[in-house]
Amino acid sequence: MTEDRSALRIRVASRAAIVLGIFTLAVAIALVINDRRTRFKDPLESPELVGRKEALRATPRDDSLKGAIREVDRDLRAEYFRRQAFAARGGYLLVLGLAGFVIAVRLSVAWRKRPPEPKPMPAFLERRMRDAGRARWSVSALGFILVAGAVVWIALSASGCYVETVDVSAGGGGAERGADPKAGKVAPAKAPRDMPPPSREEVRKHWPRFRGPDGLGISAYANTPATWNGATGENILWKAPVPLPGENSPVVWGDRVFLTGATEEVREVYCFDAASGAILWTKPVETPSSRPPTPVDPLDATGFAAPTAVTDGRFVCAIFANGDIACFDVDGKAVWARNLGAPMENAYGHGASLLMHGDLLLVPYDQGTDEDGLSRLYALNVRTGKPVWEAKRPVGSSWATPIIIDAAGGLQLIAAADPFAIAYDPENGTEIWRASILKGDVASSPVFGDGLVYTVTVDTELCATKPDGKGDVTKTHVLWKAEDGLPDITSPLTDGKHVWLLPTDGYLVCYDAKTGKKVYEQEVDARFNGSPSLAGDKLYLLDMKGVMRIISSGPEYKEIGTAELGEKSNCSPAFLAGRIYIRGKEHLYAIGGAKS
């Protein structure tokens, strides 16, 4: 072939390559644009179509609108299929263009290629050794880059850029970082004392105190089990023995369940692994040496560990019959301990449970009569145990646990004892209002629902009080009263529509929450010490034999099912997502839908 013809064919091939390359690139760009437009224009989700369909729902007889919808629908579909066809054709063009481009380039290169020529013999050994030396350095450099990258990735993972390590619900984040030899499968959760207190929304996701996040006995989760059997093991995820007795109820935060137990000599706080029931730690609580131990003699039914502990995911605090109060972090490390003085004037033994508000540990400590002036409400700094404020209460002994509600433009702590239901500002203990509506032994804790505070004693009435008053609101803010089904031990339950009372003898009464009108009453053939609870539309009633009756929360008594624990219980259950924790006389049970 002559040189001219050779140069010509090379030129032709080169230009063909350029043309085909530009063509291929143009097709690729067009396909990308088409793809983006198709991706973001789903005809079914077109705002125009959706809007017109919404309008048609409002005016179903509008024929012109129907016609418009059909037109828009047809146009959108037509465009959709047009773009799809374009993509299909474009794919062919792209592949053909690319193939042509590659052929043209290869021909151009092949036709330019010169035959190989012998090369001078280099110093192969030296070249090879130089190449090998450089290769060793480059391999080392690559290794170093990969190691550095791995270290950075590990550091980022460990520093909290991964959610596991900055988990604000302590106890849930550490597990993913691997097993800790000392804690078995569960890695110790972080309980940094510098962490701020959890928000109210976060608190509501756990079961941190007696009767749940707001002390109302209402579960945040509706998917709680409705059937189990302690004897056969059905839906019993695990059952763990509790070393010492106690009438306190379980509190749960994340993957930790806390209980206390005590005898006259020994007082202990327990942390269980929520997944397996293993005891993660046991901590004794000892009377601080500055105070000699004061013997107390509570009622057998009350015991030495009646008050339920409280936790906020950072700390867990517990109080016992002799006035010992202790605080640990969730890993079991002791934070502080003190003794408030044994409540000698408490006839049945101290039973009111603790609660927390931010960094305040609130300790209801009622004893004696209203004239003795011994009753107190303490607020301690949970980090140090030092008192922040103290409210002297004009009330006698009580065993009710206060609640904190959000009403009338602010937070109120509602405490109930003979003779007053009193609302305090939880930040400083300032009294907001009081109502003289209680008498006798107040064991039932107040509840709050749909803007009303409900208090009850067996010797007076169930009262519904509006919390937006100031001072003595006895005559002005008590909306209604009722007299049937008054409990002596259990606390009421309300969902804002109804109020349920469950006395020890099982005479369940349901009232209309707004009017106080009795909706129904039902004699349940059982005895109850545990307060009723609500999960979704199911009421859970746990009797003293450990039989749970699950009834509907509707306007009539309707039993959905029963479940037997196989063990006696006087406690109130804890409700989490898909799980219930119940303390029996000797064991702690975790009940759930599937074995973990």
Partner 1 sequence: MKPSPLFPIVAILIAFGSAVPAHAAQRFPPPEFDTGYRLPVTETPGRRVALRDSLPDHADVAALAGAIVLATVFAYKVRSRPWMLALTIGSLLYFGFYRRGCICPIGSIQNVTEGLFNSGAGVPIAVLLFFLIPLVAALLFGRTFCASVCPLGAVQDVVLAKPVAVPPWLDHALGLLAYVYLALAVLLAATQSVYVICEYDPFVSLFRLVDLPGMEGGGPVHGLTLAAIFVSAAVFIGRPYCRYLCPYGALLRFLSRLSWKRVTITPDRCVQCTLCTDACPFGAIRMPTPLVPGVPRTAGKTRLAAALLLVPVLALLGGYLGYRLGPPLSRAHAQVRLADRIRLEDAGAVADTTEASDAFRATGRPVDELYAEARAVTERFTGRWTHRDILTTKTKIVRLWVLRPGLAAWAGAIAGLVFGLKLVELSIRRRRTDWEADRAGCVACARCFAYCPVERATEEKKEIAWKPI
What's the closest the beta carbon of residue 56 comes to partner 1, in angstroms?
Answer: 8
Site for partner 1 in 443-502 (CB under 8 A): none
Q: Determine which helix (DSSP H) or strand (DSSP E) holds 155, and give its type and residue range.
A: helix 124-156
Q: Which is nearer to partner 1, 41 or 470 (CB)?
A: 41
What's the closest the beta carbon of residue 571 comes to partner 1, in angstroms?
Answer: 20
CB within 8 Å of 540: residues ≥ 6 apart? 224, 532, 533, 534, 548, 549, 550, 573, 575, 580
Is residue 118 part of the contact set for partner 1 (CB under 8 A)?
A: yes
What's the closest the beta carbon of residue 70 comes to partner 1, in angstroms?
Answer: 8
The window from 164-172, 393-401, 413-421, 453-461 that contacts partner 1 (CB under 8 A) reads: 164-172
DSSP 8-state symbol, 157:
I
The window from 3-11, 129-137, 391-399, 435-443 that contacts partner 1 (CB under 8 A) reads: 129-137
What's the closest the beta carbon of residue 573 comes to partner 1, in angstroms?
Answer: 15
Contact 576, 255 (CB under 8 A): no
Contact 440, 207 (CB under 8 A): no
What residue type is 515 in one-letter code? T
Is residue 593 part of the contact set for partner 1 (CB under 8 A)?
A: yes
Tracing tokens 């950075």 back to the chain, one arrives at 152
Measure CA of the first residue to CA of the last residue in the chain; give whole Å: 81
Burial degree of 132 (CB within 10 A; 0-12, 13-18, 19+): exposed
What's the closest the beta carbon of residue 250 comes to partner 1, in angstroms?
Answer: 14
180, 450, 484, 556: which one binds partner 1 (CB under 8 A): 180
Site for partner 1 in 293-312 (CB under 8 A): none
Is residue 560 part of the contact set for partner 1 (CB under 8 A)?
A: no
* Beta carbons within 10 angstroms of residue 60's beta carbon: 8
The window from 345-353, 360-368, 457-465, 577-585 that contacts partner 1 (CB under 8 A) reads: 577-585
Site for partner 1 in 33-72 (CB under 8 A): 35-36, 44, 60, 66, 69-70
Q: Which is nearer to partner 1, 91 or 387 (CB)?
A: 91
Closest-CA residue to 202 (of 311, 112, 312)? 312
The window from 135-143, 455-463, 547-555, 561-569 that contacts partner 1 (CB under 8 A) reads: 135-143
The window from 302-310, 355-363, 542-550, 575-583 that contacts partner 1 (CB under 8 A) reads: 575-583
Q: Which is nearer to partner 1, 304 or 575 (CB)?
A: 575
The window from 161-169, 263-271, 371-379, 428-436 that contacts partner 1 (CB under 8 A) reads: 161-169
* Per rule CB under 8 A, count of chain residues that contact partner 1: 90
Q: Which is nearer to partner 1, 215 or 254 (CB)?
A: 254
Side-chain-side CA neighbours of 34 within 13 Å: the count stands at 19
Site for partner 1 in 66-105 (CB under 8 A): 66, 69-70, 73, 77, 80-81, 84, 87-88, 91-92, 94-95, 98, 102, 105
Instruction: List, as one string, the DSSP characters of 567-586.
Output: S---SPPEEETTEEEEE-SS
Residue count of the chain: 596
User: Rounded distance, CA 198 to CA 216, Å?
Assistant: 19
Q: Which is nearer to partner 1, 475 or 595 (CB)?
A: 595
What's the closest the beta carbon of residue 151 comes to partner 1, in angstroms?
Answer: 8
Cα 213 to the center of its chain, rounded Å:
10
Closest-CA residue to 272 (of 242, 314, 231, 302)? 242
Site for partner 1 in 240-269 (CB under 8 A): 255
Cα 257 to the center of its chain, rounded Å:
13
216, 259, 274, 510: which one binds partner 1 (CB under 8 A): 274
7, 139, 195, 231: which one binds partner 1 (CB under 8 A): 139
The window from 177-185, 241-249, 438-446, 512-520 that contacts partner 1 (CB under 8 A) reads: 177-185
Q: Which is nearer to partner 1, 70 or 558 (CB)?
A: 70
Site for partner 1 in 195-234 (CB under 8 A): 199, 201-202, 205, 223
11, 15, 37, 185: which one binds partner 1 (CB under 8 A): 185
Closest-CA residue to 432 (of 457, 409, 463)? 409
Contact 427, 413 (CB under 8 A): no
Contact 212, 574 (CB under 8 A): yes
Is residue 135 part of the contact set for partner 1 (CB under 8 A)?
A: yes
Secondary structure (H, E, C), 49-92: HHHHHHHHHHCCCCHHHHHHHHHHHHHHHHHHHHHHHHHHHHHH
What's the closest the beta carbon of residue 575 comes to partner 1, in angstroms?
Answer: 11
Tell me the three state secondary structure of residue 35: helix
Tell me the three state secondary structure of residue 408: coil
User: Rounded distance, CA 402 to CA 491, Å?
Assistant: 11
What's the closest the beta carbon of residue 572 comes to partner 1, in angstroms?
Answer: 20
Is residue 109 part of the contact set for partner 1 (CB under 8 A)?
A: yes
Tracing tokens 């059952």 back to the chain, one arrives at 239
